[in-house]
Chains A and B, each alone.
Chain A
Amino acid sequence: MKDYLLGVLTLIAIWMIAVQGYMLIKGLAGLLHLGHAVFFGLGAYTAAILSLSVLPAGTYPLSLFGAALVSALGALVIGAPALRARGRYFMLVTFSVQLMFIALVSNLHGLTGGPDGLSRIPRAQLGTWTVTSPGATLALVALITMGCFLFCYVTVHSPYGRLVRAVRDDEIATEAFGKHPNRVKLTIFAIGAGVTGLAGGVFAHYMRYVGPTQFSLDLVILFLVMLVLGGQFNLAGVTCGTLLVGLLIEGLRFLPLPHGSEAFLHQVVFGALLITILFLRPDGLLRERFPRYRRSLNVPSRPAAPTTGGVPARATASGIALRTEGLAKQFGGVKALDGCSFELPTGRITAIIGPNGAGKTTIFNLITGFVTLDSGQVYYRDEPLAGLSPARIATLGVARTFQDVRIWPKLTVIENILVAIPRQSGERPFRGLLLRPQVMHEQRRNLELAWQLLERFGLEHKANDLGEALSYAQQKMLALARLSALDPAVMLLDEPTAGVDVKRIGVFLDHIRRFSREQRRTVCLVEHNMDVVRALADHVLFVNEGRVVAAGNPEEVTADADLMRIYLGYSASVS
């Protein structure tokens, strides 16, 4: 009886690892993944085949490592093409892969033993020590589970984990800040799969048998129940969820049932449980937890890297930071831009004005690479930008805000800033794991920088609130702060004050003026509020029907009655 109980706990511990891997993929990264049993199965078969016919005896860790590696590689092979497809297609791909996996392992007799599977897999064996007693097996597996938990925990809380969550929230916004969302999704998919593959390897050595029926859709449902019950966004949650479901399975054994229907009953109970959770608490028992930051009182004596670092180099000989030549873009039959050429003088504020639909936002989309040019060219310090990815353009120093703000809603305010900081070494997977002093130091420095920015933009007291909890004006302010964190030489601000209360506009004006006057950045803004334009702009471009029809200083342009008539859509009176 005692041995039986130990066995139950061992199996639960193995499942915990697999579900933690699932949490990284679905909870942390938000990838709609429906084929998790594939990675568990890949790991189990790899460990089985390795230990049966490749590796010498006593190399348990090596076989587990192989299991994790093959699963991660499998995820790369599936993910590289599939992650380009959006949500529901990815779901269908992974679901199809799940079905295909079972059909494949049942048919590859030579490699997998076909429907009979592979049996007589050696127990965990380290050197000459074979782990035989149930107690020792549990201890070993529990140790591995704790190791995996720690790994996942550090991954979730590293700058990389934060970036994964940013990608989950808004891929476009991460691209605008120089990140590569596809790379992020692919790596986290592979990491989650690797963790799950490791669990599969442990499973193979524990059960000493692998066969296709073990990794069917039923197992996917089991993993899903465990994931959703505990709370898919919470690592401790999914671990508890696994324990609860595991104990439930044992509890079901006490039900008097006709022989042969236990497996069916399990599925009915899991399904019913899943439906109940979705109705009552779709986010699971434990909700997502967000890291809380407190400003350390012993601020490092040397000041954090100034946001204006490298500014002198921004000025170029020509005095022109950015130049466009004949930008043209057609959407369907509509010419959004039709030969639009202008220059942004270094360190100055240029305002683009024009009626709705004149192509103002399209200009920003073309410069930053979110929309590809039909023809024309953009030069940044005489380097052509056309054809570069949005991430590359942002990294070079030309960055934007969005008309619809696009802050990361499920990141806290300070995290919104932290993600935007460029060139973080902790942003790469595994970098944060070793807690190397260099990375740790960099993180402390970035944190101090983030606090300074929050202070400057008056958001310090909101640091640990979620982005979505901010008011619209605060979100707009956060968008400016976030852009400052990226520290670009050219800032493209898409309606920075639209929707902001008149009383607060002054603060926004001060910040934007500082970008140019103190920090010597080149600023270009699209704006509808003529008071803002007159107060800020050194230079105004009037865009209509896809081209620049007038340019000059703000007084001239806004005083031109003809232009203003166009601007107001030929309305009768112009004051």
Chain B
Amino acid sequence: MMAYFINGLALGFNVGLLAFGLALIWRTAGMIDFSYGSVFLAAGYAVLFFRNVLDWPLWIAAPAAVLVGGATGMALYAGFYRHFLRRRAPLFILVLLSLAIFTVTENGLAIIFSAQRFYFIHDLLPGWTVFGVRVNAAQLSKIGLALLVMVGLWWYFARTRSGSAILAVADNRQLAQAVGIDIDWAYLRVFGISGLIAGAAAVPTVAEIGVDPFVGFLPVFLALASIIVGGLRDLRGPLIGALVLGQAFHWAVWKIPASWQELVAYGVVIIVLMARPEGLFGGMQKFHGRT
């Protein structure tokens, strides 16, 4: 029982972390970014490479992989999205593009490294027993990182000029441009920060379950789902959505076969979308702009 709760909690915080990054892109660039999975994979394979091939210690390899995530996010923006965002491409085009990038990443990795799953920690992860349940280091770092990033983002957007410039772009791009905010640079930061967040979510996940080319899809979809469930009003919405989904995902296995687990997540998303498209906690209606 307690194990379901702890597993769900760790998953929820991890997905919530990804949801922060996705929500940031959604609010500023106005797009649903499936290629966030590519960033996740880049960081995942990077940590594997740093540990297994270069043999760096974990305390260097892990932050380095997070940086790779940030760099990948920026590269995707500079290489692809900038072109389309400047031309104010329709939403469908942006989503297709992100979906195509993600597909190419997944299958490209599968061709290069095969679909095999790799691990950089082969032993049992270090862990502690709390209330009779084993909590491992990866789960703890997922929870810790999510809280840390949340505080960091709050500080960034509430207290720094750079952060409020991004908020201004999210709120009204034309007006932001008119008062002299560099839109391009703001977008680049958004994709960079989101990339760092994806990296921070990827490293503990890969430590726990390893990495293969198709490991990025489910967490990113769940992150998207948490935004839908929780709404976009502020950072709490996606996190609450993620925690709800995390619990639903793990408690589902309690009573029904494990193969139905994904169905529960998709079902929750569809029901919420149809019943309350503005998200359970509201705040989505502001973003009808680009359809």
What residues make up the interface of A, taking CB atoms closer than 8 Å to B? Answer: 26, 32, 34, 81-82, 85-89, 91-93, 96-97, 99-100, 103-104, 106-107, 221, 224, 228, 261, 263-268, 270-272, 274-275, 278-279, 282
Measured between beta carbons, the chain A residues less than 8 angstroms from B266 are 96-97, 99-100, 103
Given contacts A99-B221, A271-B104, contact A32 B274 (CB under 8 A): no
CA distance A279 to B221 in the complex (A): 26
Contact B104 A272 (CB under 8 A): yes
Chain A contact residues, majority secondary structure: helix
A107 and B32 contacting across the interface, CB-CB below 8 Å: no
CB pair B100–A221 under 8 Å, yes or no, is yes
Q: When chains A and B are docked, how far (Å) is the Cα of A282 from the Cα of B111?
A: 28
Cβ A93 vs Cβ B96 within 8 A: no
Question: B91, A106: Cβ atoms under 8 Å?
Answer: no
B108 within 8 A of A: yes
A103 to B269, CA, bound (A): 14
17 A-B residue pairings within 8 Å (CB atoms) = A32-B95, A89-B273, A92-B32, A92-B228, A92-B269, A96-B269, A97-B270, A221-B100, A261-B114, A264-B110, A265-B107, A268-B111, A275-B100, A275-B104, A278-B84, A278-B93, A278-B96
A86 near B288 with CB under 8 A, answer: yes
Which interface residue of B80, B100, B106, B267 has the most chain A CB atoms within 10 A? B100
- Most interface-central of B92, B108, B266, B269 (chain A CB within 10 A): B92
Does B103 count as interface, using CB distance less than 8 angstroms?
yes
CA distance A270 to B65 in the complex (A): 29
B182 close to chain A: CB less than 8 A? no
**Contact between B274 and A85, CB atoms less than 8 A apart:** yes
- Given A100-B270, A224-B99, A271-B102, 13 other A-B residues pairs in contact with their CB atoms under 8 A: A32-B91, A32-B291, A34-B95, A82-B274, A88-B291, A89-B228, A221-B99, A265-B107, A265-B111, A268-B103, A272-B100, A275-B80, A279-B83
- Inter-chain CB contacts under 8 Å: number: 116
Q: Which of A93, A106, A228, A266 makes the CB contact (< 8 A) with B259?
A: A106
Residues of chain A with a CB closer than 8 A to B114's CB? 261
- CB-CB under 8 A from B67, the residues of chain A are none
Whether the pair B96, A104 counts as a contact (CB closer than 8 A) is: no
A88 partner, pick from B91, B97, B101, B270, beta carbons under 8 A: B91
- B224 lies within 8 A of chain A by Cβ: yes
- Contact of A82 with B273 at beta-carbon distance under 8 Å, contacts A106-B259, A261-B111, A275-B80 already known: yes
- Decide yes or no whether B158 CB sits under 8 A from chain A: no
Q: How far is the CB of A498 from chain B (nearest CB, A)?
A: 23
- Taking a contact as CB atoms under 8 Å apart, the answer to whether B110 and A282 are in contact is no
The number of chain B residues with a CB under 8 A from chain A is 43
Q: Are B273 and A85 in contact (CB under 8 A)?
A: yes
B58 at interface by CB-CB < 8 Å: no
| A275 / chain B contacts, CB cutoff of 8 Å | 80, 97, 100-101, 104
Does chain A have a CB within 8 A of B89? yes
Query: Within the complex, which residue of A32, A106, A270 is in contact with B92, where a contact is CB–CB below 8 Å?
Result: A32
**In the complex with contacts A96-B269, A96-B270, A96-B273, A107-B263 CB distance below 8 A:** yes
Contacts of A86 in B (CB 8 A): 277, 288, 291
**Per a CB cutoff under 8 Å, which of B32, B97, B104, B270 touches A268?**
B104
**Nearest 6 CB-CB pairings of A with B:** A87-B291, A271-B104, A267-B107, A100-B266, A271-B103, A264-B107
Q: How close is B97's CB to chain A, nearest CB, in angstroms?
A: 5
Q: Kindly provide the distance from the CB of B29 to the nearest chain A CB, expressed in whole angstroms.
A: 12
**Complex alpha-carbon distance, A267 and B96, angstroms:** 14
Q: Is B262 an interface residue (CB 8 A)?
A: yes
B260 within 8 A of A: yes
Chain B positions within 8 Å of A228 at CB level: 96
Min Cβ gap B144→A in Å is 30
A92 to B228, CA, bound (A): 9
Q: How far is the CA of A107 from the CA of B262 in the complex (A)?
A: 11
Bound-state Cα–Cα, A265 to B99, Å:
16
Are the C-beta atoms of B277 and A89 separated by less than 8 Å?
yes
Contacts of A99 in B (CB 8 A): 221, 262, 266
Name the CB-closest residue of B to A33.
Answer: B92
Contact status of A271 and B270, CB under 8 A, knowing A91-B32, A92-B228, A107-B260: no
Chain A nearest Cβ from B8, distance in angstroms? 19
Residues of B within 8 A of A271 (CB): 100-104, 107
Q: Which single residue of chain B is at the shortest CB-CB distance from A282?
A: B93
Given contacts A81-B274, A82-B273, contact A91 B89 (CB under 8 A): no
Residues of A within 8 A of B108 (CB): 264, 268
Are B84 and A103 interface neighbours, CB within 8 A? no
In the complex, which of the residues A88, A97, A266, A270 contacts B32, with contact meaning CB atoms closer than 8 Å?
A88
Given the complex, which residues of B lie within 8 Å of A268, measured CB to CB?
Answer: 103-104, 107-108, 111
Residue of B84, B89, B93, B104 with highest tally of chain A CB at under 10 A: B104
Residue of A93, A261, A271 most packed against chain B (CB within 10 A): A271
Q: Which residues of chain B from 53 to 107 have a CB within 8 Å of any chain A CB? A: 80, 83-84, 89, 91-93, 95-97, 99-104, 106-107
In the bound complex, how far is the Cα of B276 from the Cα of A81, in angstroms? 11
Separation of A268 and B270 alpha carbons in the complex (Å): 29
Name the residue on A nearest B105 (C-beta): A271
Chain B nearest CB, measured from A128 CB (Å): 42
Q: Which residues of A contact B260 (CB under 8 A)?
A: 103, 107
Interface string of B230-263 (1 = CB under 8 A from A): 0000000000000000000000000001011011
Contact of A261 with B110 in the complex, beta carbons under 8 Å: yes
Chain A min CB distance to B98 (Å): 10
From A103, A270, A274, give the contact of B263 (CB < 8 A): A103
B274 x A274 contact (CB < 8 A): no
Which of A32, A100, A267, A282 is within 8 Å of B267, CB to CB?
A100
Please, which residues of chain B bring their CB within 8 A of the CB of A279?
A: 83
- A92 near B224 (CB under 8 angstroms)? yes
